[in-house]
C-alpha cells in the first residue's frame, strides 16, 4: 500500500508544469530506491543478469544523467517502524511465503516464484547482501564518480571522492539513527546546491520530498531542488481499457520545487503548505493509516479551502477538518448534519460527541446508501485514525528521529504479538 494515486493526479492536473517527460535539470546526486529494483522480470534467469539489469545499469544511467554521485539504498529492517506491520501482513496474505532460513545459501539460480521468495525476509536480506558485495567488487577502483551503498549502519562510499553528510561523522552511531525505509533515507542525500534525483515508484516519496524541501527552505532560506523519477501518471479520463500487453510502462520526472510553489500559492494562509497538503494525503490512507471511508482525494481536495488556516498539526485541527468534510458530504442527504457541528469542538471529548452526533444522523438517513452508512467508522476508530495521521506526519517530517508508534497515543496497539490499528473494523 502507498498513498492514494488520486493525489498525484490532482497535483498533475493543477500543476502540470511540475511534471515532464524530460529531466528538468542535471542532478548532483541520484538516490535509487533499491527495494523497488529487487522485483525482477521473469526473463532474468541468472544472478549475474539480475545484478546488471536491475542495479549496475540503473547506477550507470544515473551517471549518464550528469550526476557525480549515485546512492543505492535498501531498507534496514532493523529500523523499519513497527506500524509498517499491518501493510506487510496484508501483502503476505496475498502471496505464499517460501521457506528459507539463515543456514541456507542462495540457490544457484533465482527461484522461479520470485515474488513468493521475496516475501521471506531472510531470503531478501541475503539477496541484498549479495548485491552489496557484488557492487563493491564491480566498482572497486572507479574514481570518476562515487557510488554509495546505503543499507545498514553507516553508508559505504565504494569509490570516488564523495564525503558523507555530517550526520554520519565519526562521532555518531549510525545504528542509533534508525534509518529504516528508503522513503526516509532519500532526503538525507539532498545537496546544499544542485538537485537530488530520487528514483522510485513509491508514492510516499512525493509528500516526504515536499515536506523536507519546505522544511529546509524554512530553516536555511535556500537549498537545492528535489526531482523524482516515477511511473507516469495518466490524468486523461478514458473508459476504454487498453488491450492486454499493449501498454508499455512510461516514466516521468516530478519537479518538487515547482510543486511546492504551487502548494504555497494554493494554501497561502498556512505556515506550512506542504505539511497541510501531506496531512490530507495521509488522512485518505497510506502504509500507516487506513483508507478514510466515504471520502477520498477528490472530495477532500474540493473542500480544501474550507478547512481553515491551521496546519492541521493538532488532533483538534484534524478532527475539525474531518467533521467539516463529512458535514459537507452528507448535509444534502441527512437532516441535522451541518458545518456548525465542528464549532463546539475544543477537546477530545467534544470531538467524539460531535462526530457521534453526525454519525447517528447519517445512519438514520434513508437517502444515504446502506453500504456507505455501514462503512462509516465509530468515533473511537476515527479518533485513532487522527492519531495514526499525526504519527505519519511525524515520521514524514522527522525521518529517522520519528517517535515509536507504540509510545504515546498514536492509535496503534500490540495485539497477539502484532501491531494493529486501534478499534480496527473486522
What is the separation of C-alpha 341 from the centre of its chain, rounded to a whole number of angstroms? 32
- The three grid cell numbers given for residue 179, joined into one nine-digit string: 534509518
400 by Cβ neighbours in 10 Å (0-12 / 13-18 / 19+) ranks as middle
Residue ranges of E strands in 54-178? 69-73, 146-150, 156-159
272 by Cβ neighbours in 10 Å (0-12 / 13-18 / 19+) ranks as buried
pLDDT tens for the chain, residues 1 to 426: 689 999 999 999 999 999 999 999 999 999 999 999 999 999 999 999 999 999 999 999 999 999 999 999 999 999 999 998 766 555 555 566 788 999 999 999 999 999 999 999 999 999 999 999 999 999 998 889 999 999 999 999 999 999 999 999 866 666 678 999 999 999 999 998 999 999 999 999 999 999 999 999 999 888 899 999 999 999 876 556 556 555 688 999 999 999 999 999 999 889 999 999 999 999 999 999 999 999 999 999 999 988 866 668 888 889 888 988 998 899 888 887 776 766 666 777 787 888 898 999 999 999 999 999 999 999 999 999 999 999 999 999 999 999 999 998 999 999 888 899 999 886
Collect all residues with Cβ–Cβ distance below 8 Å to 250 and sequence separation of at least 6.
Answer: 231, 232
∠142-144-147 over CA atoms, to 5°?
60
Task: Write out the H or E segment, with its range, that includes residue 392.
Answer: helix 379-398
- Spatial separation of the C-alpha atoms in residues 186 and 152, rounded to whole Å: 14
Question: What's the Cα-to-Cα distance from 196 to each of 14, 68, 229, rounded to whole Å?
Answer: 24, 11, 11
**Contact between 158 and 140 (Cβ < 8 Å):** yes
Collect all residues with Cβ–Cβ distance below 8 Å to 19 and sequence separation of at least 6.
Answer: 12, 233, 252, 253, 254, 255
Q: What is the full DSSP assignment across 314-371?
A: SHHHHHHHHHHHHHHHHTTTSTT--GGGGGG--SHHHHHHHHHHHHHHHHT-TTS-HH
Amino acid at each position: 500500500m502507498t498513498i492514494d494515486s488520486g493525489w498525484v493526479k490532482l497535483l498533475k492536473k493543477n500543476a502540470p508544469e511540475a511534471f515532464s517527460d524530460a529531466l528538468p535539470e542535471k542532478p548532483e546526486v541520484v538516490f535509487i530506491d533499491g527495494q523497488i529494483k529487487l522485483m525482477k522480470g521473469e526473463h532474468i534467469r541468472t544472478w549475474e543478469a539480475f545484478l546488471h539489469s536491475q542495479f549496475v545499469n540503473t547506477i550507470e544511467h544515473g551517471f549518464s544523467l550528469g550526476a557525480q554521485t549515485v546512492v543505492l539504498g535498501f531498507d534496514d529492517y532493523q529500523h523499519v517502524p513497527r506500524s509498517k506491520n499491518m501493510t506487510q501482513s496484508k501483502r503476505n496474505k496475498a502471496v505464499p511465503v517460501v521457506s528459507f532460513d539463515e543456514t541456507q545459501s542462495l540457490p544457484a539460480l533465482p527461484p522461479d516464484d520470485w515474488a513468493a521468495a521475496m516475501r521471506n525476509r531472510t531470503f531478501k536480506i541475503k539477496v541484498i547482501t549479495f548485491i552489496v558485495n557484488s557492487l563493491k567488487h564491480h566498482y572497486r577502483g572507479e574514481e570518476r564518480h562515487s557510488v554509495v551503498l546505503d543499507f545498514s549502519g553507516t553508508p559505504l562510499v565504494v569509490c570516488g571522492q564523495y564525503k558523507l553528510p555530517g550526520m554520519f561523522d565519526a562521532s555518531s552511531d549510525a545504528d542509533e539513527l534508525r534509518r529504516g525505509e528508503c522513503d526516509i533515507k532519500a532526503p538525507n542525500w539532498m545537496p546544499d546546491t544542485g538537485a537530488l534525483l530520487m528514483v522510485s515508484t513509491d508514492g510516499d516519496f512525493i509528500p516526504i520530498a515536499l515536506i523536507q524541501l519546505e522544511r529546509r527552505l524554512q530553516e536555511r532560506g535556500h537549498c537545492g531542488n528535489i526531482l523524482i523519477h516515477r511511473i507516469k501518471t495518466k490524468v486523461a479520463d478514458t473508459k476504454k481499457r487498453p488491450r492486454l500487453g499493449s501498454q508499455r510502462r512510461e516514466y516521468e520526472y516530478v519537479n518538487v520545487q515547482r510543486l511546492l510553489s504551487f502548494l504555497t500559492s494554493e494554501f497561502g494562509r498556512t505556515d506550512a503548505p506542504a505539511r497541510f497538503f501531506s496531512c490530507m494525503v495521509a488522512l485518505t490512507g497510506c502504509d500507516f493509516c487506513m483508507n478514510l471511508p466515504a471520502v477520498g482525494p477528490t472530495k477532500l481536495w474540493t473542500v480544501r479551502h474550507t478547512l481553515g488556516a491551521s496546519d492541521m498539526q493538532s488532533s483538534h485541527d484534524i478532527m475539525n477538518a474531518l467533521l467539516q468534510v463529512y458535514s459537507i458530504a452528507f448535509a444534502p442527504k441527512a437532516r441535522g448534519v451541518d458545518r456548525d457541528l465542528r464549532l463546539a469542538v475544543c477537546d477530545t471529548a467534544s470531538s467524539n460527541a460531535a462526530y457521534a452526533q453526525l454519525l447517528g444522523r447519517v445512519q438514520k438517513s434513508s437517502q444515504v446508501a446502506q453500504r456507505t452508512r455501514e462503512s462509516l467508522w465509530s468515533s473511537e476508530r476515527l479518533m485513532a485514525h487522527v492519531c495514526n495521521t499525526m504519527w505519519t506526519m511525524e515520521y514524514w517530517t522527522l525521518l529517522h528521529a520519528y517517535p515509536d508508534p507504540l509510545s504515546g497515543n498514536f492509535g496503534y496497539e500490540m495485539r497477539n504479538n502484532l501491531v494493529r490499528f486501534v478499534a480496527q473494523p473486522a
